[in-house]
Amino acid sequence: MYTLYEMALSGNCYKCRLALQQLGIPYERVAVDVSGGEQYRAPFRQMNLNSKVPVLKISETEALPESNAILFFLAERSRLMPQASLARAQVMQWLFFEQYSHEPYIATVRFWKKFTANPDAYRADIARCMPKGEKALAVMNEHLGQHIFFVDNQYSIADIALYAYTHVAEEGGYQLSRYPAVQAWLRRVEQTPGFVPITA
Amino acid sequence: MYTLYEMALSGNCYKCRLALQQLGIPYERVAVDVSGGEQYRAPFRQMNLNSKVPVLKISETEALPESNAILFFLAERSRLMPQASLARAQVMQWLFFEQYSHEPYIATVRFWKKFTANPDAYRADIARCMPKGEKALAVMNEHLGQHIFFVDNQYSIADIALYAYTHVAEEGGYQLSRYPAVQAWLRRVEQTPGFVPITA
């Protein structure tokens, strides 16, 4: 059985749980003491030299880091990944958009505002990041004005990856009411079979 | 025939050219006037709402953004992608490492130092980014101390993606002599069949 090494309220970890649940794959959860620095020490670091959660332990000797690589591993040959070559690459397009243009601005601001003792200490970082987070939400809103789901109007791991931090973006101070097509898409994701919330 | 919309000295664009060349896929190049803001206007923006190069135009109506999604599209069923499920996901792991933990610190510092009129204006950004770039190089160096190429000791798009900005990291002030396993791997990449330099 797979084991997910994670931090429960991390969107990157939640992505993996949502895909595992929707694909009906049994797994166990292990909480990593991130605030205590467990990720920088053995044995965690032997699973991921880059010292980040989540990691999916696949066997005694095999472990896979990077949330979106875990999504790809779980879904490559499933209904959560399209069949056609270009559509598969478009799923990857949105996964890379999520990690490069979205997560560094939406997840980080949420982290500073919700999970640190003194968010004011991050005021300059928050000011630097929020315009880029707004841009990411605007790109999503424009795309979702024309599409039910991100790729081929079919629910995929692209939707799972982007749902994870978008649906909690308001915890970082983003106003999702400015992005109505994003809000409508969030509700569609929540109605997919086997959906579980981040708190599950 | 494919058309690559690009900026020649961008590592993200070079990745695509290197893969196209090594896979023997004919293509045309079109330079995008990034400093003039062409990426924010139609028709470019219709190909990529996120206004970034590169974009691979595949047909009159189909275009694919995101350098690493382009690598996946070109290579999914080629010798530049392994066959086994976990190895394929490990290629994705390193592609996401590249876009999340490497490019934002190594490519950006190079850009500020080499391509802006007044790098001193970015002194605070450079100071914030360089420790994270050093961490990425250290992770690569530790992994490459045990592996010929990133995944399964077989040259893949993971190597192409990470070569692109690593081999020019010194243009941003990183000292690659601190990372001998990285330096040896750069030379191995340069000996692969069909290799072309960023200036080609």
DSSP string, A143-182: HHTT-SSTBTTB--HHHHHHHHHHTTGGGGT--GGG-HHH
Phi and psi torsions of A104, nearest 5°: -65, -15
Could you tell me if B92 and B186 lie in one domain?
Answer: yes
The pLDDT-based confidence of A190 (bands split at 50, 70, 90) is very high
Instruction: Give kind and range of the element (H or E) at residue A71.
Output: helix A67-75
Could you tell me if B71 and B99 lie in one domain?
Answer: no
Distance CA(A170)–CA(A103), nearest Å, equals: 14
In total, the C-beta contacts within 8 angstroms joining chain A to chain B are 98
Instruction: Give kind and range of the element (H or E) at residue B20.
Output: helix B11-22
Q: Show which residues on chain A lie within 8 Å of chain B, measured between beta carbons.
A: 49-50, 52, 58, 62, 64-70, 72-73, 76-77, 85-86, 88-90, 92-93, 95-97, 99-101, 103-104, 139, 142-143
Does ipTM surpass 0.90 in this model? yes
Looking at CA atoms only, how far is residue B66 from chain A in angstroms? 6
Give B89-115 pLDDT, tens digit per residue.
999 999 999 999 999 999 999 999 999
Could you tell me if A96 and A13 lie in one domain?
Answer: no
Task: Give a yes or no: residue A150 inside a domain.
Answer: yes
Domain range for B29 is: 2-75
Could you tell me if A114 and A161 lie in one domain?
Answer: yes
The mean of the pLDDT values for chain A is 97
Environment class of residue A106 by beta-carbon count within 10 Å: exposed (0-12), middle (13-18) or buried (19+)?
buried
Q: Please, which residues have CB within 8 angstroms of residue A179's CB and are 6 or more apart in sequence?
A: A137, A138, A140, A141
Domain boundary among B75, B109, B135: B75
Task: Give a yes or no: residue B52 inside a domain.
Answer: yes
pLDDT at B7: 96
Cα B99 to chain centroid, rounded: 8
Taking the CA atoms of B170, B173, B177 and B182 in sequence, report the sign of the dihedral they define.
negative
Name the residue among A67, A70, A100 with its Cβ closest to that of B99.
A100
Q: Which two tokens stand for residue A184?
A: 């409508």
Task: Give a yes or no: residue B199 inside a domain.
Answer: no
Three-class DSSP category at B34: coil
What secondary structure letter does DSSP report for A185?
A: H
The b-or-e profile of A59-85 (16+ CB within 10 A means b, else e) is eeeebbbbbbbbbbbbbeeeebbbeee
Environment class of residue B188 by beta-carbon count within 10 Å: exposed (0-12), middle (13-18) or buried (19+)?
middle
Give B141-198 pLDDT, tens digit per residue.
999 999 999 999 999 999 999 999 999 999 999 999 999 999 999 999 999 999 999 9
Task: Give a yes or no: residue B198 inside a domain.
Answer: no
DSSP output for B60-119: SS-EEESHHHHHHHHHTTSTTS-SSHHHHHHHHHHHHHIIIIIHHHHHHHHHHHHHSS-G
pLDDT at B45: 97
pLDDT at A42: 96
- Please give the C-alpha separations between residue A168 and each of A8, A103, A162, B3, B163, in angstroms, as whole numbers: 14, 12, 11, 38, 35
pLDDT at A189: 98
pLDDT at B178: 98
Instruction: Give kind and range of the element (H or E) at residue B19.
Output: helix B11-22
What is the pTM (predicted TM-score) of this model? 0.98
Could you tell me if A182 and A158 lie in one domain?
Answer: yes
CATH number (domain holding residue B49): 3.40.30.10
CB contact under 8 A, B89 and A97: no
Task: Give a yes or no: residue B137 inside a domain.
Answer: yes
Closest chain A residue to B67, measured at CA: A93
Three-class DSSP category at B57: strand
Could you tell me if B12 and B60 lie in one domain?
Answer: yes
Could you tell me if B110 and B57 lie in one domain?
Answer: no
Least Cα distance to A158 among A69, A84, A93, A64 occurs for A93
Question: First and final CA of chain A: distance in angstroms?
Answer: 20
Report helix angle B180-190 to B123-144, nearest 10.
80
pLDDT at B75: 98
What would the mean pLDDT of A160-173 be, rounded to a whole number? 98
A65 to chain B: which residues are within 8 Å by CB?
93, 97
The pLDDT-based confidence of B46 (bands split at 50, 70, 90) is very high
Domain boundary among B75, B105, B138: B75
Distance CA(B34)–CA(A199), nearest Å, equals: 43
Q: Is-contact B179 B134, C-beta < 8 A?
A: no
Distance CA(A159)–CA(A94), nearest Å, equals: 8
Q: Which residue has the tokens 């915890």?
A: A171
The pLDDT-based confidence of A33 (bands split at 50, 70, 90) is very high
Could you tell me if A62 and A93 lie in one domain?
Answer: no
The pLDDT-based confidence of A48 (bands split at 50, 70, 90) is very high
The pLDDT-based confidence of A194 (bands split at 50, 70, 90) is very high
Could you tell me if A49 and A110 lie in one domain?
Answer: no
pLDDT at B158: 98
What would the mean pLDDT of A105-132 be, rounded to a whole number? 96
Q: Is-contact B165 B103, C-beta < 8 A?
A: yes
Q: Is-contact B81 B88, C-beta < 8 A?
A: yes
The total of other beta-carbon atoms located within 10 Å of residue B28's CB is 10
Domain boundary among A75, A100, A128: A75
Strand partners, B63: B57
Number of domains in chain A: 2
pLDDT at A195: 98
The pLDDT-based confidence of B15 (bands split at 50, 70, 90) is very high
CATH number (domain holding residue A115): 1.20.1050.10
Could you tell me if B37 and B120 lie in one domain?
Answer: no
The pLDDT-based confidence of B66 (bands split at 50, 70, 90) is very high
What would the mean pLDDT of A146-163 be, rounded to a whole number? 98
State the best of A58, A95, A100 to mutate against chain B, taking most chain B CBs within 10 Å.
A100
pLDDT at B5: 98
